Structure 1
Amino acid sequence: MSPATHPPCNAANSCAMIEDEIARSCALFDGQGDPMPECDPAPKSMAAAVAVVQRYYSALNARDYGVAWAQWGENGPPNQTLDKFQAGFAGTRSTRVTIGQLEPGDGGAGSIYQTVPVTVDSQLQDGTRQRFVGDYVVRRVNDVDGASPAQLRWHIGQAKLKAAPTR
């Protein structure tokens, strides 16, 4: 991606989109020679799993629904088209995610799962404030032979959020 054709962080190129492209590239080349110092956090780390959730909310705030949708993997959230996903946020003015205390992730069936506890504060277009608490389960394939680059990247696999009182 060239800064000449895609200047960083502007209305056409959200920071989340640029961060997502960097994360995609880092995951693609992870384990192919010396680690790239620019790939921070390391593509397989808990911090990289957390970055997916942070990028998700950054993209929502930038109204970059395509990048937000893609944090769920190649086909977006289960049973949602991009249009349906975008319509679900039509009344949202802003969101802010706070990451809670992480515990080490789990492995199973060739995948790694990382639970990311969150508190999400949002404001609707009419000024109403909402709060949700819960967690995201972020997943990646654990270097299984034949895994695609998309499978080797962390992506949101599940969200378990419930409404909570606002402050």
Structure 2
Amino acid sequence: MKEIESVLFSEEVIEKKCCELGERISRDFDGEVLVVGILKGAVPFMSELVKRIELPIRMDFMDVSSYEGSVSTGKIKILKDVENDVRDKDVIIVEDIIDTGNTLSYLSELFKLRGAKSVTICSLLTKPSRREKEVEVKYIGFEIEDYFVVGYGMDYNEKYRNLPYIGILSEKVYK
């Protein structure tokens, strides 16, 4: 695909990382966990990850927004909330990529206020250079530089989510 400058992580590399993360999560928790995927980007990652978690799990989703186009506004809007009660539950928030940290900081505090027993974050990618709010992320797939990445759930204007790999989007597409 000519819009993709290069492939950062192949499907095989991502699947291997999902196995590693699933094994770590399985070791770190004793009982049932509530896995909350952040729509839409986390869906492919979460689908692969939960197959590797050897614990009883409940799955739920949230749809939150803090972006207009490709720029973060810093204001978090909940478009779809979880359906499960998080009180006294071990909650694992699954995200595709951590950029500014604003969304995950907000969600972590929200789940704590709602009485979650614990709140843990698992993200496929992190971009530390873009961080505005520090957020504790226990499970990280890959740390990347400040690239505009797409694929494996990540998009640009709702395109490229279905790519089975993570690639760097050509600047001429989004500028």
* TM-score, structure 1 as length reference: 0.24
Larger RCO: 1 or 2 (CA < 8 Å, sep 6+): 2
Higher strand share: 2
